[in-house]
Amino acid sequence: MAWLVVLEKMVVLVALILVGVISAKAGWVDGRFSQMLSRLVTNLFIVCTILNSVANVPPMFNGQELGTAMLVAFVPFLVGGLAGFLVTRCLRMTGQSRNVAWLCVFFMNNVFVGFPLVEAIFGAEAVFCASLTNIPFNIILYTLGVSLLHQQEGKKKRFNLREIFSVPLLATLAAILIFLIQIPVPVVIADFLSAMGGATVPLSMIIIGISLSAMPMREAFLDWRAYVVSLVRLILCPVLTVLLMGPLLAAGSVTMGTYTIVSACPSGAMIAILCVRYHSDDHMASKIIFLSTVLSAITLPVMTYFLL
């Protein structure tokens, strides 16, 4: 049963997150270590995980199905964007808090949380499907998302194409090319990618734990608006995503299941990072990211039980 697999996986992931929290509280690691490790995981280990999904395993769909999967990959973000827009206005949030909360519903932690869960439930080949969400994630975040954060500084919209084409996105495009052309991957390289990809999950969770250790936990637990925003991200978004994907994908398909899992993930940590960079409300972002990550240990198994 998928929900039981998710529950077991979430127990392991939470344990790994606690390793990060304890390590940070004990002074074994600090914010600089987390920042450097995050770059290493993003630019190397996750890249190996994505490429391994097409190098070591048989393809999960043909070229035509790939086109459909790439199109449907935008659905979770369409849902998140609309849900975030509505909830922040229903809560009568204003200024920095409103835009930051909107983005926290808009963008999920598809890489650090989504990829490990998808691989655990559907296998390594499904990571390729999950990686397709990097395309809308990067395009929308570094255009509309950055534009919203710049509004807080009273600046004009500024899009950075270099940021849109992040390393994971380039790895996804490379994986698509390997898939379409059926480029043979030598066994030695395939084994290397598999070995490197195996380190992605524990390192990713430890990074999240280190980040959570520095967040305002007490304030997060006392902010009722952060709860509402988090639950919209964790419950409403996956339900609406499944409803919209119904006419486009076969029920019970791996693609449907993969995007369902991704849509149920907590808010993306990148929002807090961008808030710091653009001097927006990183305090609100941290609270929502913390709460949604903690609550996802409960909601992800529940959503999987009812939706898969």
Going residue by residue through the chain (308 aa), what tens digit of pLDDT does each one get? 677 878 887 788 788 888 988 999 999 998 788 878 888 887 888 889 888 888 766 666 666 788 899 999 999 999 999 999 999 999 999 888 899 999 999 999 998 889 888 988 888 888 889 989 989 998 898 888 888 887 654 555 555 666 677 788 888 888 888 888 878 888 899 899 989 988 887 887 788 788 778 776 777 788 999 999 999 999 999 999 999 999 999 888 899 999 999 999 999 888 877 786 777 887 888 889 889 988 998 999 999 889 88
Three-state SS at 267: strand
Angle formed by the axes of helices 46-55 and 200-213, to 10°?
150
Specify the pLDDT at position 292: 92
CA-nearest of 269, 280, 283 to 17 is 269
Alpha-carbon gap, residue 141 to 222, rounded angstroms: 28
Q: Tokens for 262?
A: 């991704």
Specify the pLDDT at position 273: 74
Specify the pLDDT at position 10: 79
Q: How many CB atoms lie within 10 A of CB 30?
A: 12
Three-state SS at 154: coil
Specify the pLDDT at position 235: 97
Three-state SS at 108: strand
Angle formed by the axes of helices 115-122 and 2-25, to 10°?
140
Q: Is the dihedral of CA 257, 101, 201, 302 positive or negative?
A: negative
Alpha-carbon gap, residue 200 to 21, rounded angstroms: 18
Specify the pLDDT at position 57: 60
**235 contact partners, CB below 8 Å, separation of at least 6:** 299, 303
Specify the pLDDT at position 216: 66
Note the pTM of the prediction, 2 decimals: 0.84
Greatest pairwise CA separation for the chain in angstroms: 56
Q: Are 239 and 51 in contact (CB under 8 A)?
A: no
Alpha-carbon gap, residue 192 to 177, rounded angstroms: 20
Distance of CA 17 to the CA centre of its chain: 16
Helices and strands of the chain, counted as H and E runs: 20, 0
Q: Which residue has the tokens 């391994």?
A: 52
Specify the pLDDT at position 89: 95
Task: End-to-end CA distance of the chain: give it in Å, rounded.
Answer: 9
Q: How many CB atoms lie within 10 A of CB 246?
A: 11
Alpha-carbon gap, residue 98 to 107, rounded angstroms: 14
Specify the pLDDT at position 281: 80
Specify the pLDDT at position 190: 87
Distance of CA 170 to the CA centre of its chain: 16
Specify the pLDDT at position 71: 93
Specify the pLDDT at position 259: 96
